[in-house]
A and B are shown apart, each in its own frame.
Chain A
Amino acid sequence: MIEYALFAVLLVLGFGFGQLNEQRHYKSIKKREQEMSVLPAVASKHPPTDTQYQQQMVIGSVVVASDYFKSFLANLVNVFGGRIRSYEPLLDRGRREAILRLKQEASKQGASMVFNVKYETSRIGGGVTTIEVMAYGTALIPAQNSVVHA
């Protein structure tokens, strides 16, 4: 009986802390998205040709872990099939956070925009679902702002 009680406690804790973390993360994401909207990151492969740019590869990477409740729900969906809704916000947070970090990196380089942005997702570890979302692209740094690296 203890194992079922422990299971119930883990589910409640997972649900509570998972929801809290998610809400806090989204709040932070939305605030930073507004701040960073001046620096566009686009999937286009054709940068503007009217200005001379220094090109620099930039990466934004984040590792997000699922909680007990989300993993349990996903496990159930795995049996019956269908959308794993519990993981969808997790991946959405991962992608948006990765882009924000990519923009942060680009901003530090003095870039005005990032082109040819792509995502990679990989699973880390074998136990609790933990994913890494990485966004990478080419930062375009106007020639006068370019940072010279040794």
Chain B
Amino acid sequence: MHSNVFLKTRGLKKESYFIIILAMLFFVGLNPLLAQSKPDPKALIKQVDDLSDFSGKDFSAVFTIVTQKPGEKDSVTQARIFRRDLKKQFVILILLPEVNKGQGYLREDDNVWFYDPTSRKFSHSSMKENLQNTKAKNSDFTLSTFAEDYTVTKMTDGMVGKFPVWILDLKAKTNEVAYDRVVLYIRKDRTMLLKREDYSVNGRLMRTTAYPKYVELEGRLLPSQILIVDEVNKGEKSQITMAEQSVSPLPDRVFTKAFLEQVSR
């Protein structure tokens, strides 16, 4: 009796081994197909970077940033941004509020300069700094370089609103970036960044940024409305609205200190 049961179980075991091996072979065979449906994360973030890369062209637009803080009047900053992505150059020129009009930021090689027309002096700034009193960083207005600055540590999928997304967990390669860890929510059916979460070195969620509206310009996709939510100071947020976008060529002198000095003279 006992031996019979033993034999039966052994027989079952043999069968189950067979099924498992068969299943494994099936999945191994299927693997290339699966791999095809799940994109390469590195290539995906490169695609996100390339979406708004105007290399070979110049780009300029006006950004209006409205910042809300509890118990305070909304503050408004309007700036014209000039970009020459091929050389990683950019200029941010403050148009509003009037008291800060003519102030500017310039990226020259690896340096970021801040210019104040009231004293006609430059001081050193960085990509990591906030633009004026807004929740936006200087780096939010430049060409995104996720593929260059970060490595993907995890890739899962999920939903943002009604859109299925790839969720990519990114870890910074350098300390030149504003945030050590970034989580990107990239739309599956058409590659575009819908949301990003920025974390500090100790893992605290610092801000959440949503990109709910895009504009197509010369085959490139640019977020035209952005919402930045400060997760540390509850209730503080900034809305960025882009207008007057253009890819007309800009004179070389735009990307110089002299331009900032002359333009607000």
- Are A and B co-members of a single complex? no
Q: Which residues of A contact B (CB under 8 A)?
A: none
Q: Which residues of B contact A (CB under 8 A)?
A: none
